[in-house]
Amino acid sequence: MGIKTEQEKQPTPAPNRTSLSLAEENSFDRQIEDLEKQVSGAEIQQGLNHQAPNRANVQKRIEELRRIRETRSVRAAVGREREEVEMEIQSIKDELQKGMPTFKEYSFTRKKDGPFYNALKQWIVRSEQNPVRRQQIARWKYLKRRIDPTDPYIANTTNLFPDVSNFNKH
């Protein structure tokens, strides 16, 4: 790893894709491994890097890479891991469905429905503004993609509605 230029020190912006390719995942793994060597001082001991890295910045970059990799991985969960993923999906789905309108209410409520329409609009605004809910939805989408990375519709949030199975036979 030699001395980094100012441009190389900047975090790599995430591409405008929802998931990483296998090559990108491997690249993230190598970057994390190299950064962990910097933190442990292995590169300095081996003479590969003559400047001591700022450990806090390097650790921050490692966490950033791990977070990106965790939330955008495309590797399918198998075996025991798949069971754990399915259990977590169900617990998140149960939590998200609390107070959620049905798919029918969401899809067919119109302005002329008065208080029902207002209640639906308020629920939508509260849901969109709730950062915990947004994180839960992002985690649910990631886990759903881990079940079947080849299905482009598996992480569709419409599937979260309590009665969507009656409408969406996918």
Question: Given pLDDT bands bounded at 50, 70 and 90, which one contains residue 11?
Answer: very low
In a domain, 1, yes or no: no
C-alpha distance from residue 46 to each of 38, 52, 146 (Å): 11, 13, 38
Domain boundary at 56, 72, 88, which? 72
How many domains does the chain divide into?
A: 2
- Show the domain range for 48: 6-72
Average pLDDT, whole number, for the chain?
Answer: 79
The alpha carbons of the chain give a radius of gyration, in whole angstroms, of: 22
Q: Which of 47, 72, 97 delimits the end of a domain?
A: 72
112 inside domain? yes
pTM beyond 0.95: no
pLDDT per residue as tens digits for the range 121-151 = 998 999 889 999 999 998 888 888 888 887 8
Please tell me whether residues 50 and 103 are part of one structural domain. no
Are residues 86 and 125 both part of a single domain? yes
Assess whether 56 and 88 both reside in one domain. Answer: no
- Which domain-ending residue is among 41, 72, 103? 72
Residue-wise pLDDT for 57-96, tens only, equals 888 989 998 888 877 777 788 889 899 999 999 999 999 9
